[in-house]
Structure formats: structure tokens, C-alpha cells
Amino acid sequence: MPEHSSSATDSLRAGNRVVAFGIAAIVLILLLAAVVLFLNLPDANAFNARVEKLFVDNNDLTSDAEIKLLEILAQSGTSYADIFVTYRAVIFVLLVFSTALLIATLVFLVTIIALNRRISAIQRSGIQVASLLISREGRAVYINDLEFALTEAALETLAVLAEARMDDEVLTGAQIEAVISGRNEADCDEAAGATRIKRLRDTLGNQLVSELLVKTIARRGYVLAVGKDVIKMV
């Protein structure tokens, strides 16, 4: 147990480091991109500076029409500067949004990977059941104090699997059908037992729980993936 705990702790720390480094890398890359972008953007007052230079270099423009033209150019430069400031703000907001989106994507990706590893570990080790109580009167099964209501047919199927597990037996679909129906095994169809198993899993509802609790062993049959000492029937 200490070795597993140490391994889990190391994996958690490694995952946290990956997330931290990934977030830092994303922020750094986007920060550098923002600096380069804003440094290469033209000055918002560049147009005004050109118009001002025109005023300075053309003192001989004294007619009303020429002065009016210069005033129009000056007003255009002011409008251009205001618009360019807005563009800078929009670019900044988009960069912030991109940073948040990339960070969220990284966190979700790491979370999905961690969940996949956890599910794989559960699938390898099977579901950990401390107690399994089958109540015929209440038509329910209690797994680790969690109650699952069952139909009569599903309860019979689970009871047969539980009895087989206590005897260390693996039952085929035909054997399950024979025990429940009371007929001879040779007269029972494998598909009928497989259908009972499917209905039991559907009744349990949670796919992960049902698939890991009622395991299928290739070319052998079906078995409950629990210790026989935790099974009780009332």
C-alpha cells in the first residue's frame, strides 16, 4: 500500500508540474507575441505627425481652400488615432481571451488524461467491493452501502452469479439460463443467458459499475468480480 500511495503521489506531483509548466509556457509565448505585435504596430499618432509636418513644410499654403484641406487632414488624423487605439484594445482583449482558452484547454486535457489513467487502473484491478448484500425481499442489491433497485429477473441473475462466485465457478450463458429456468443445460441457449446478463447490467444503470462488477471471461462465461467473503444474501 505505501508503494502505491507513493506512486500515486509522484504521479500527482508530475501532473501538477506539467500543468504549471504548460500554463507558464502558454503565458510566456503569448506575452512575447503581444510584445512583438505591439512593437511592430504603427504609432496611432503617425498620421497626425505627417499632417503636422505638412503644416510646417508648407507655410505658403494660405488660401482658404488649402487651409481647409489641411484642417480636414488634421481631423482625419485624429479620427485615425482614435480608431487605432480601439484596435489596440481589441487586440489586447483577443490575446487575453486566447491565453485563457489555451490554459483551459491544457487543464481539460490533463484532466481527461488523468481520468483515463484512473479508469484504466480500475479496469485492471476490478471494482473494489467491501460488501455485496442481495436482498430478495427488497429486490435490491447493496454494493458498498449503495442501493441498486433490481427487477425480479435481474435479481435472479445476480443471485445465481453470487452463488457461483461463492463456489469459485464461472457460468456460461446456457448454465445461467438453466439454473434460473430449471431446464436442462443442453436445452438452453447461450444467447438467453447473455441476454439476462445484459439486462442485469442495464438494470444496474452505471455502465462502469456494471461492466466491472459482472465480468465477462472470454470463452468461459460470466463471474462476479468480488471476493466471495463479501457476498451476503437475505
**Confidence check: pLDDT of 232 > 60:** yes
Phi and psi at 133, nearest 5°, equal -115, 120
Q: Tell me which residue has cell 508530475.
A: 14
Q: Are 159 and 141 in contact (CB under 8 A)?
A: no
Grid cell in block for residue 25: 509556457
Q: Which residue has the higher pLDDT, 94 or 212?
A: 94
Domain limits, the chain: 2-125, 132-233
Confidence of residue 150 (pLDDT cuts 50, 70, 90): confident
Q: Which residue has the higher pLDDT, 167 or 116?
A: 167
Q: Are 88 and 41 in contact (CB under 8 A)?
A: yes
Look up the pTM and report it: 0.47
Chain mean pLDDT for the chain: 75
Give the pLDDT confidence score for residue 123 in this predicted structure.
56
CATH of domain 132-233: 1.10.10.10
Grid cell in block for residue 7: 506512486
Angle at CA of residue 167, ends 161 and 171, nearest 5°:
40
Give the pLDDT confidence score for residue 6 in this predicted structure.
45
Percent of the chain clearing pLDDT 90 (strictly above) = 1
Give the pLDDT confidence score for residue 21 in this predicted structure.
77
Confidence of residue 59 (pLDDT cuts 50, 70, 90): low
Sequence-distant (≥ 6) Cβ neighbours of residue 134 within 8 angstroms:
141, 155, 158, 159, 162, 231, 232, 233, 234
